[in-house]
Structure 1
Amino acid sequence: MSEIIATREAYGKALSELGNKYQFLVLDSDLAEATKTGIFKKAFPDRFFDFGIAEANMIGTAAGLAACGNTVFASSFAMFAAGRAFEQVRNSVCYPKLNVKICATHAGLSVGEDGATHQCLEDIGIMRTIPNITVLCPVDAVETKAAIEAAILTDGPFYIRLGRMGVPIINDEKTYKFELGKGVTLKEGKDITIISSGSMVFEALKAAETLEKEDNISARVINIHTIKPIDKELIIKAASETGAILTVDEHNIMGGLGSAVSEVVVENYPVPMMIMGVKDCFGQSGKPQQLFEKFNLTHKDIIENTKKLIEKKK
């Protein structure tokens, strides 16, 4: 079994490690222990600022600091970073295209027992509609650190979606190369393509392995870590070579990864397609795996939908 670590934990460690290499500031809103920015605070107390429960003020200040020439990381839960501070993200950060990196933890159903009010299922849809912003959703700790470094090295606004629960590491830190805007093919396949991001990538891989072993179905698996700008070339190639696309992410079916992929497919290479996600409803309180089962987001559900979609190719 590979090492299990939450992407929020990897984020905190990455900030601390990269703080010796690059100059940047870190802001939080009374959640440093949960977002793991507290790790950076211990290492660089003079470069960390806590704003209390005032997310809009934090984003506004981040914009001001960036306007003075700083690279600024601003963190909170996704519900507050994308929801409560939307106006400041849009008008203060993205409109002037400032160097603010919004790193939002506790996104999606895997927030678990915190329930519907804290399970942000709309953040990707909200953020990717704003001009000038790059939207990332890393799959594991290795990709998270690489994404944070890429954000430091790339000028302009970022929204980086991070999770609460621990997830397996699938990438080798020694060989992994992160490229903004480029998806990663984790498994080749010819019958269908499963496109995913974040925690759902692991379910997609499990589903593909089972399909190959038990049903002789060859499923290609693609990890889309950059949701905006999305890898159009890779998606079109997958559509043309496999003839069907299934997307799955821990988000509302409206506005998320599935919507982003469908926009590419319908304009460039229409094929049978299905979007898996939370079907336009709020989440509930429960353990992450229980919630994945309730909202039909397990590898078993992916297998079932894959078979249905392949039938549509005939």
Structure 2
Amino acid sequence: MDSPLSSFLPESLQAPAAAVIFQAASGMFLLFTLVAARMTGLVVLGPVFGHPHIPLKVRALLVLALSFVLTPAVISSGHRQTFQWLDRDGDDEVSVDEVPATVQPAVRQLLERLGKNPEAGLVAAEFELSLPQADSMGEYLRLVVLEFVLGVGLGLGVTILISGLQMAGSLIDQQLGTSLGTVFNPQLQMEVSLSGELLHQLGLVVFLIVGGHHLMVAALMDTFQALPVGYACMTSDMIEQLASFVQQALVLMLRVSAPVMLVMALITLAQGYLGYAVPQMNVMMLGFPVRALVGLIVLGLAFPVIVESISHWLPAGIEQLRLVLLRQPA
């Protein structure tokens, strides 16, 4: 089958032997670029990886380096592990209904070639997926976009969880009376509250400490087994999981801001009592410094609990994403 690059070949390379070599080289190039596309999606939106303070050239080199490492591993992984991941019911057979939509045409072709019933399944010895052929530049771009979107889904999910810390900081600053003081967050490309930026940076530090960057790369590597190169797709389960991460980010926001919010509620009640008992006292003016000071003290005391919550939510979220990408029950 002709490669989309074959039209650029000089006549000297269109001999049978040279054409075979070029076909193998173009196949390796296609495999590498698709692996790089999936990795690029992770690096673009993933926490730490996609931080704007990291120069674009450094991120590009990171994608190339990781792709060079992962491509040989993808080649040597074989079809046995992919068969085990796709055999969801554990009956040692893979049917059309068990595989993702992008893999179903390849399974039907295998069944037809083997002369088996389309409703039947493939055993491990019969299961073999070849790299899809990009017959045109449009088909090649379609494969690249699908791989890129899959990587984006993994990076976006973790970024959504960390955004819960940003929202918690904004809620805390509203109670402390410091919401007017903002700083620019380059990753979000917007001005955020001081406490929000503090908690966001804390989340990134905890993410690195718990090895979140390693977990994300490992999860991406596992996706090459359940969704081989060239067969990537964004499933409805993945979209639902990303939507559930928004809910989890809100829960994380409440857990992080709860200590400060509780103390601020008590201070508000005390202010109301003083304003009623001592009308001559300017409770509002006296309350601003008290709320800010007490709030910062409570936030400092709550830091160990906040770190514990972050260290629990982030690895658990990455694992949920990994299981959904592998089409396993989360």
TM range (shorter): under 0.3
* Richer in helix (by share): 2
Question: Whose relative contact order is higher, 1 or 2, with alpha carbons under 8 Å and at least 6 apart?
Answer: 2
The TM-score with structure 1 as length reference comes to: 0.22
Larger Rg: 2
